[in-house]
Amino acid sequence: MNPEFVILESIQKAHGDIETRPISLHEPDFRGTKAWEYVKETIDTSWVSTAGSFVERFEESVRKITGAKHAIAVSNGTVALRLALHLVDVRAQDEVIVPPLSFVATANAVSHLGAIPHFVDIDNETLGMSCMALIKRMDEIAIRKNGSVFNKETGRRISAIVPVHIFGNPADIYGLKKIADSWNLPIVEDAAEALGSSLGGKHCGLIGDVGVLSFNGNKLVTTGGGGMIMTNSDSLASSARHLSTTAKLAHSWEIQHDQIGWNDRMPNINAALGLAQLECLNDKIIKKKQLFSQYAHAFAEYDFVELVATKTGFNSNHWLITIRLLEKDLDLLAAIRYRLLKTSHQSGLLLRPAWKLLSDLPMYSSNPKAELSTALDQVQRLINLPSSPQLIQ
C-alpha cells in the first residue's frame, strides 16, 4: 500500500471515529469553561480594555502555572518577542541568532527593532537550535571587543540568542544557555508554542533572561490573540510593564511619558477568555498526552515514518504532534510528501508541512547564516498532524 494511505489510516485509527470534517491542526475549544461568563462580565462592567481585573487574574494564573516571578500580558506573541528583545538591549543593526525552523514571527520580531536575524542550524532530535551548531558558528564568526560580541564578517554587534521550543518540544535550553553565558549574551526564549512544557523542573521560557508565550487562535490556550512576557528579573519586568503601556508615569491626572513606549497591553476581554481556558489547562494537557500516545501506537509498526518524540527527560505539551518521513531518496520523499498532503486535504484531514525555512523566505534569503543542513533536511520530512485536545472525546 502507498505510504500516504498507511499514514492517513493510522491517523484515523489514532482518532477513532470522528465524522466532523475538516479537522485542522489545532482548534480552540471553550466547552466546559467559564469563557462566556467571564467575557460577559467584562461587557456588563464595561471593563473591556487594557485595564481590568481579568488581566491581573490571567497574569497571576500564568505565574502559578509556570512558576514565573513576573508575567506581563500583551496583545500577541510577536509584540511580546519584540518587547523582550528590546528589554535585553537588542538595537537596530545588531545581529540576533535565531533558528531557521520557526514561525515567521521569531525573525520578524528581530526585524521590527531594525536588527538582523542570523540563522544557526537546528538539532535533529529536539528540532530546536543545536548546541553544536551554535558553538561552531560562534567560533567561526564571533569576536569579543569592548565587552560586546561582534560578527567579524559583517562588523555588526551580536546582541542576543533566541531559541524556539518548536511545536511545544523543549529545545536543549540549558546547553544553549551555557553557550550564551560563555559569550555573555542574553537569551530570549520563544516559548510561544510551549505553555505547559518544561525541562529540568523549570517551565520553558524561564531558563533564559526573558521568555514569551503566545495565545493566538491556534495555540493550546487562546485569548483570541495575545501574548505574555515572562521573567524572573524584577527590573526587566518593570521595564516591560512600563514600555508596554506607552511609558506613562503613574499620576492621578497628569499625562506624562518618559520614553518612547508601545501600546502593547492585552485587553481585559481577551484576558477573560484566556483565564477561562487556563482553568482547564491540565485537562487539555492530559488529553494531548493521550493523543500523542495513540498516534505513537498507530505509527509504531512502520519503518518509513516515525512520530517526532520528545527527548528523554524533556516534558512537551505536544502542541503540534508531528511525523517525520524517513525516505532517504529525496525525489521519492518529495513525491510521498506531496501525495500525502494532497490526499489528506481531499479527505478533510488538514495535515500541514512544517513552515518553509525562514532563511529561504524572500526577506531573509540574504541574511547571515551558518551551514543549515539539518534544517534543510528536516523541513522536507516534517508533517504536523491534527493535534487538538478535543480529538480525545
Ligand X SMILES: *Cc1c(COP(=O)(O)O)cnc(C)c1O
Determine the Cα–Cα distance for residues 210 and 86; give it in Å rounded to an integer. 11
Measured at the CA of 355, the angle between CA 352 and CA 357, to 5 degrees, comes to 150
Nearest residue (CB) to ligand X, 106 versus 159: 106
Determine the Cα–Cα distance for residues 325 and 98; give it in Å rounded to an integer. 25
Nearest residue (CB) to ligand X, 3 versus 205: 205
Nearest residue (CB) to ligand X, 74 versus 336: 74
Determine the Cα–Cα distance for residues 120 and 375; give it in Å rounded to an integer. 9
Q: How far is the CB of 339 from ligand X (least distance, A)?
A: 27
Please give the C-alpha separations between residue 341 and each of 376, 379, 382, in angstroms, as whole numbers.
Answer: 19, 14, 11
| Site membership for ligand X, residue 231 (CB under 6 A) | no
Nearest residue (CB) to ligand X, 98 versus 333: 98
Q: How far is the CB of 225 from ligand X (least distance, A)?
A: 6
DSSP at 6 = H
Determine the Cα–Cα distance for residues 181 and 149; give it in Å rounded to an integer. 12
String marking each residue 97-116 x if it binds ligand X according to CB under 6 A: -----xx-xx----------
Nearest residue (CB) to ligand X, 95 versus 189: 189
String marking each residue 183-222 x if it binds ligand X according to CB under 6 A: -------x-xx--------------------x-x------
Determine the size of the site formed for ligand X (CB under 6 A): 14
| Site membership for ligand X, residue 78 (CB under 6 A) | yes
Give all strands (DSSP E) within 140-201, no chain letters: 142-145, 148-151, 157-161, 188-190, 198-199
Which residues between 35 and 64 bind ligand X (CB under 6 A)?
none
Q: How far is the CB of 236 from ligand X (least distance, A)?
A: 19
The DSSP result for 345-369, as a single string, is HHTTB--EEPPPPGGGSTTTTTS-B
| Site membership for ligand X, residue 264 (CB under 6 A) | no
Determine the Cα–Cα distance for residues 155 and 111; give it in Å rounded to an integer. 18
Residue 255, C-beta contacts closer than 8 angstroms, at least 6 positions apart: 248
Q: How far is the CB of 212 from ligand X (least distance, A)?
A: 7
Determine the Cα–Cα distance for residues 305 and 323; give it in Å rounded to an integer. 7
Which residues between 289 and 348 bind ligand X (CB under 6 A)?
none
Cα 291 from chain centroid (whole Å): 20
Which residues between 152 and 171 bind ligand X (CB under 6 A)?
164
Cell 489545532 belongs to 26
Nearest residue (CB) to ligand X, 76 versus 169: 76
By beta-carbon distance, which residue lies closest to ligand X? 77
Nearest residue (CB) to ligand X, 8 versus 272: 272
Nearest residue (CB) to ligand X, 96 versus 192: 192
Joined grid coordinates for residue 133: 551548531
Task: Please identify, among the stretches 72-80, 89-97, 114-122, 267-275, the one whose residues bind ligand X according to the rule CB under 6 A.
Answer: 72-80
Q: How many residues does the chain have?
A: 393
With CB under 6 A as the contact rule, the residue among 227, 267, 368, 389 that binds ligand X is 227
Positions in the binding site for ligand X (CB under 6 A): 76-78, 102-103, 105-106, 164, 190, 192-193, 214, 216, 227
